[in-house]
Amino acid sequence: MNKAEIHLTAGTGLEVELLPFGATIRSIRLFGQELTLNYPQSTDYQTDEFYLGATAGRVANRIAKGRFELNGVAYQLDCNNGPNHLHGGVTGFNRQLWQVLKQQPDSVQLYLHSADGDQGYPGALQVWQQFRIVDQQLELSFLALSNKDTVLNLTNHCYFNLNNDGTSIENHQLQLTATHYLPTDEHAIPTGERRAVAGTAFDFSQAKLVGPALKLQDPQLALANGFDHCFIWQGAEAADLKRMALLSSEQSGRQLEVFSTQPGLQLYTGNFLAAPFVSRQGICLEAQGWPDAINQLGFPTTQLKAGELYQQQIVYKFS
Ligand code: BGC
């Protein structure tokens, strides 16, 4: 069964449209107001270069030079982002057709079989992703199993815009509960440092406007042309379902809270969005593992052992 579009509703005012192509969130509407960026035609997603609403994988974010070593074997993946591998490669999970396994009015389960060697990654991998509406929450649950040791980091890549007048996300207030983030080099690869946000442009511990934060003087902001950085949660609680972010628009009164079991959240302020969109038209709050973790000493592991169950959750709660 592969329908072109999947509509979810629980009769609570939240309506979600999904596409099996890329396990993509095409639309999230709360009482009729659209809250994410989308293309007019579902076929537009086949040529999308912004990962609009898509599931990013096998490994979301970057792997430096597309290289890593696992069990003494060196792997070379495609470099589809300057010198690096981004969001799973040229035909990542965002460009693969997921199967619709089970559909109900308020939930759907999608499935993807990724062959051993897909995009250069080891192991035949099975992925199940469930989308479910509960009250005014959209819950994403990821499960995966590989037949060989591999590396995995799944996330969703929605560009949120909570305004109802089409204006930029610069007027949004953002709060992030992280105390640290990962500074990067000029190619967006973490340097390995875990830097405290306190007293920097990256301090969102109290809700603040995104626009003025983008204008602050900080070499890290200049490097990435805005925010394109992973905020991190450390220690034992990092794996709990925790409240990571609160995004709100005073213009519309809408707000979004992001909860996840993932240890990181990539804040991306739509710096490179281009036609048919414009820069800063959407903001991504991508709960995920830390970028380039497979090559970085001491980062929480993104390795998935053969036969071990990968389990992560992301919850978008609207009001
Ligand atoms: C990355 C950006 C990248 C974008 C692609 C984000 O997750 O952090 O660097 O340009 O995805 O749309």
Q: Where are the domains of the chain?
A: 6-318
Give Cβ neighbours of residue 212 (< 8 Å, ≥ 6 apart). Answer: none
**Å from CA of 76 to ligand 1 middle:** 21
Q: Which of 68, 111, 110 is nearest to 89 (CA)?
A: 68
Q: What integer pLDDT is reported at residue 3 of this predicted model?
A: 52
Q: Amino acid identity of 24?
A: T
d(C-alpha 126, C-alpha 113), whole Å: 5
Query: Which residue has a Cα nearest atom 8 of ligand 1?
Result: 228
Query: Which residue has a Cα nearest atom 4 of ligand 1?
Result: 50
Q: Is 286 a catalytic residue?
A: yes
Q: What integer pLDDT is reported at residue 10 of this predicted model?
A: 97
Among the listed residues 85, 157, 172, 229, the single catalytic one is: 157
Q: Going from the first residue of the chain to its last (319 residues), give the mean pLDDT of each consecutive group of 10, the final group possibly shorter.
A: 79 98 98 97 95 98 98 97 97 98 97 98 98 98 98 98 96 98 97 98 98 98 97 91 98 98 98 96 98 97 98 98
- Specify the CATH number for 6-318; select among 3.40.640.10, 2.70.98.10, 3.90.1580.10, 3.40.50.2300: 2.70.98.10
pTM for this model (two decimals): 0.97
Report the DSSP beta bridge partners of residue 260: 242, 314
Query: Which residue has a Cα nearest atom 9 of ligand 1?
Result: 228
Q: Is 157 a catalytic residue?
A: yes
Residue 292 Cβ contacting ligand 1 at under 6 Å: no
